[in-house]
Amino acid sequence: MKGSAMDTAPDFELIKDAYAIIDGIPETAIDLDQLVSARGETLEHGTVCSPAGWLAQHPAFNAAGLTLSDDDSRLQLSGEEPRDPAAILAQVFRLQPMDARHLFADRMTYTLGDDSGLSDKRLWLREVREFLKQHGQLDADFEEHLETRGPFAEPANPAEIRAI
């Protein structure tokens, strides 16, 4: 007997939790292209990770078994042998592997060469919002929470703005 669609529906609440976690991390600490690209003195100072890298260090996701390998090079689920990161994230969020691959992709996947000036953080948040919207999961409360914030949380640092 086949499981109902509910068994295989993505864990939208967990995706929203992931969104909130990443939303709270400074723009400069998010790099879509590498799981962990810099390690600071503390997690808050100088560490730069992709969204998946940050989630793998968050207590809520650690409790679900998501962690980084000892050398920060791979995602692990409950300490199992290395697997494709998309397969791990698909399992954690109950996503189709294709969706997991898209939601946790590199910058080129989202921009196709045109970044419209958005930071990696903003690009990722936009993709997650689009995914939630496509699945009818952007409820009024969530939308309202998003709309109370400007498009850029931190003042732009002129040194970091690339020429258009």
Q: Give per-residue pLDDT as tens, 22-48.
A: 999 999 999 999 999 999 888 888 999
Query: Any idea what DSSP says for residue 30?
Result: B
Mean pLDDT of 132-142: 86
What pLDDT does residue 132 have?
96
Binned at pLDDT 50, 70 and 90, residue 144 comes out as low
What's the rounded Cα separation, in Å, for the pair 3 and 10? 14
How many angstroms separate the Cα of 153 from the Cα of each of 23, 132, 140, 147, 156? 9, 21, 21, 12, 9
Nearest to 132 by CA among 30, 5, 52, 20: 20
Binned at pLDDT 50, 70 and 90, residue 162 comes out as very low
